[in-house]
Structure 1
Amino acid sequence: MAQNSAVTNAVLYQRQGTLDKARSEIDKAVQNPKTSDKAKTWYTRGEVYDAMAASPIYGKTLAPGEGAKIAFESYQKAIQLDGKDGEYGKLATAKMDNLFGAALNAGVESYNAQKYDDAINSYKMAQQIRPQDTTAYLYAAYAAEAKQDFASAKESYNKLMGINYKSPQMYNRLLQIARQEKDEKAAMDVIQQALKAYPNNKGFMLEELNMLLSAGQGAQAMDKIDKAIAADPTNANLYAVKGSILDQNKQPEQALAAYKKAVEIDPNNFDAQFNLGVYNYNKAADLYTKASRMSLATYQKSGKKMEADGKKYFEVSLPYFEKALQLQPNDRAVISSLQKVYVRLGRNADAERMNAKLEALKK
């Protein structure tokens, strides 16, 4: 009875709200051989530290994450001693669910304090409580990246994939890690995984093709995109990607045909609309540049005609840029391009409108 009194006292002190005294009593109880093998002892210890972690007063007496960690370990021990169907085993199992949020919060607190190891430990505890919840794995990956521990970050991302989690952001993070580690094979592996999950993602398609181009496999890149088009001829994204690759290969006329095909299939394809605008804008700019470099005599002979032709290209570019702006109203590249075209066409009010839009986006 004397030995059990420490557990009883801890329960009473906890109910009274004097958690420091409850902590002192229960810490003695878990060290005493007479009470250390009792599920009630460990469940009570979990409750005391759980309450301390949640208290704005007593929480300050604990290290970041300490309350949630000790509560978790205590509830685990209670379940181990009593089984999930025992009186305290059932109570501990229910309490474990409540600890998930506490563990996450402790991790966030440590992360914000740049205590990344403590944050990762808290997130790992949250993972143990809810193994199928993706949040703790993501946060653990972010914390590992923050401390430049790319191996641990990859481990967390791989665990996410193991529970069938998918997101473009995750694959992009893994791709960035591979590039920071200068591991081109790993980068290509990531892109292959990303394309398996998101086969029509333009960004991932371009990444793969650019890798092939960088590796001197331009023919393979074009062959790959052409095969994809043959298999899915109504996919506007594929034509837009092909146009981008041809642009990078300095084949603007072929790129133009690809972009036109993309717009023909899907008039709302932003990339194709914008790049058609860019193609005609560049044609116009080249003609104006050539005219500006002419001698006076040459300019008087053919410069005006060259500028008139350039103006026509600016006019052709305009509806493409306007459609692109309609599709993505806050795209700075589109707004800037439109502002320049409006100036060239003497539409000063429209040019000012685009300039004001750009300034508003900077704020």
Structure 2
Amino acid sequence: MKKFLLTASAVLSMQVAFAQTSAITNAIMYNEKGTLDKAKAEIDKAVVHEKTKDNAKAWYYKGVIYQAMAEHPIYGKSVNPAEMSKAAHEAFAKVPALETKKKEFSEDAGKRQQLLMNNMYAYALNEGVEHYNNKKFTDAQKAYMRAATYKPEDTTAYIYAAYAATGAEDFASAKTLYSQLVDKKMASPTVFSQLLYISSSIDKNDKETLAILEKARAAYPNDRNFMLQELDLYLKSGREKESMAKLDAAIAADPTNANLLTVKGNLLDKVNKPEEALASYKKAVELDPNNFDAQYNMGVYYFNKGAALNSKANNMKLAEYQKSGKAMLNEAKKFFNQALPYFEASLKLKPSDRTTVQSLLKVYSALERPADAKRMDALLQQD
């Protein structure tokens, strides 16, 4: 039987290869023992050495060890958890391509990648919040945008990034971010409202504002605020008839929609047609007694009638007042009594609405109901 002697170079080569394989083994052993700093030192050597830099097992365990360090209550304090999680994610991402034969680590690497993605999203989002709270708006925006890359389907990071851009008075970036959400059909009413604020108050671009409103109305056809903003723009541009025609067409298509009737009442109020507005509010209340705006505006109509008579009586000369002043004040009280149930209904619908409380305070005072007036005053003092 022949015996073969290894050359010195061959022996050395085997020793080096064994040493690097041992680095992987040592890293696994240290990881199992919980000495993660030593595990990291060993695996860092393995993934850069010529003999093991393309070893799927090495990269898999780099991911495992880095992930463990990022999440460890003690070791996590000595490293940047966000950076460690990112490095772990990148390590796991290499595994499938390196496992050309038996897929021993790929499946678990994929699962761990997803978990790390969630972690990295949370780290980046929290970093953004911290920067934002410290008024470091540019840094906050960068962190939020990094979070968005980890969960592009989630709107939170985009919205927060836009808030940060607004904080930095970078309205162009904020507009771009909000517009991206609109284009992705992921815009909430708040997103549209912010976009409308920039276009109308910052850029003062009525044409662009109207284009945004058209998209907002298409996405949220029953949103009263968007309806009113759109109609306001029509009125500003002298398109009253077009505005009313648009609203009447919407009501014809949806005649039991109390919101549309309330908006019509608002529009009629704006063009100084209070009697027609009242009819629209009445119909809205009949359709939906819980419609706050219709109830409140009914109260406003009757209150204004009474207040106008009160003012007229108080401005009379003595002779005129002696002749018809008291009768006029009694007529005013009739209107105040008509206003009262609508304001009371409004307060039940929105108990913390200060405008309604203030209106009720005025009505109770006009009707000489001091106890009720005092109750309203107490509500105002609570804030």
Q: The TM-score by the shorter chain falls in which range?
A: 0.7 to 0.9
> Which of 18, 26, 43 is equivalent to 2:60?
43
What residue identity is the alignment partner of 1:264? E
Name the structure 2 match of 1:32: 49
What residue identity is the alignment partner of 1:104? Y
Name the structure 1 match of 2:93: 76
Larger displacement relative to structure 2 (350-359 or 241-250): 350-359
> Which of 189, 192, 195 is equivalent to 1:171?
192
Contact 1:69–1:122, Cα closer than 8 Å, also in 2? no
Name the structure 2 match of 1:97: 114
C-alpha deviation, 1:9, in angstroms: 2.9
C-alpha deviation, 1:258, in angstroms: 1.5
Question: Residue by residue, what CA displacement relative to the aligned partner does 1:81-119 show, whole Å, maximum 9, x if unpaired?
Answer: 348x93222111111222243123212321232131452
Q: How does 1:290-301 map to 2 (within 5 A)?
A: 290-301=312-323
In 2, Cα distance between the equivalents of 1:63 and 1:147? 27
In 2, Cα distance between the equivalents of 1:186 and 1:77? 46
Does the alignment pair 1:123 with 2:147? yes
Question: Residue by residue, what CA displacement relative to the aligned partner does 1:175-196 show, whole Å, maximum 9, x if unpaired?
Answer: 2333334343332232222211
In 1, Cα distance between the equivalents of 2:233 and 2:23? 67
Cα–Cα, structure 1 residues 33 and 310, in superposed 2: closer, same or farther, change >3 Å? farther
Contact 2:92–2:113, Cα closer than 8 Å, also in 1? yes
Question: Residue by residue, what CA displacement relative to the aligned partner does 1:289-320 show, whole Å, maximum 9, x if unpaired?
Answer: 22223333333333222222211111110011
Question: Residue by residue, what CA displacement relative to the aligned partner does 1:267-288 show, whole Å, maximum 9, x if unpaired?
Answer: 2221111001011111222222
Larger displacement relative to structure 2 (274-283 or 109-118): 109-118
SS in 1 for 2:19: coil
What residue identity is the alignment partner of 1:177? I
Name the structure 1 match of 2:261: 239
In 1, Cα distance between the equivalents of 2:372 and 2:206? 46
In 1, Cα distance between the equivalents of 2:376 and 2:38? 67
> Which of 276, 281, 291 is equivalent to 1:259?
281
C-alpha deviation, 1:38, in angstroms: 2.4
In 2, Cα distance between the equivalents of 1:293 and 1:331? 32
Cα–Cα, structure 1 residues 211 and 34, in superposed 2: closer, same or farther, change >3 Å? farther
Name the structure 2 match of 1:214: 236
In 2, Cα distance between the equivalents of 1:148 and 1:4? 55
SS in 2 for 1:4: helix
Contact 1:195–1:201, Cα closer than 8 Å, also in 2? yes
In 2, Cα distance between the equivalents of 1:43 and 1:66? 17
Name the structure 2 match of 1:273: 295
- Number of matched pairs: 357
Contact 2:141–2:162, Cα closer than 8 Å, also in 1? no
C-alpha deviation, 1:24, in angstroms: 3.0
Name the structure 2 match of 1:201: 223
What residue identity is the alignment partner of 2:197? Q
What residue identity is the alignment partner of 1:219? K
Larger radius of gyration: 2
What residue identity is the alignment partner of 1:169? T
Give the TM-score of the pair, scaled to structure 1.
0.87
C-alpha deviation, 1:121, in angstroms: 4.6
Runs (5+) with no aligned partner, structure 2: 1-17, 132-138
In 1, Cα distance between the equivalents of 2:238 and 2:64? 63
Name the structure 2 match of 1:3: 20
What residue identity is the alignment partner of 1:171? F
Cα–Cα, structure 1 residues 60 and 339, in superposed 2: closer, same or farther, change >3 Å? same
C-alpha deviation, 1:139, in angstroms: 4.4
Contact 1:236–1:262, Cα closer than 8 Å, also in 2? yes
Name the structure 2 match of 1:320: 342
Cα–Cα, structure 1 residues 42 and 139, in superposed 2: closer, same or farther, change >3 Å? farther
In 2, Cα distance between the equivalents of 1:143 and 1:68? 25
What residue identity is the alignment partner of 1:184? D
Name the structure 2 match of 1:343: 365
Give the TM-score of the pair, scaled to structure 2.
0.83
Does the alignment pair 1:55 with 2:72? yes
Runs (5+) with no aligned partner, structure 1: none
Cα–Cα, structure 1 residues 17 and 122, in superposed 2: closer, same or farther, change >3 Å? farther
C-alpha deviation, 1:206, in angstroms: 1.0
Contact 1:116–1:147, Cα closer than 8 Å, also in 2? no
Among all aligned residue pairs of Structure 1 and Structure 2, give the percentage whose two residues are the same amino acid.
48
SS in 1 for 2:105: helix
Cα–Cα, structure 1 residues 181 and 4, in superposed 2: closer, same or farther, change >3 Å? farther
SS in 2 for 1:2: helix
What residue identity is the alignment partner of 1:119? A
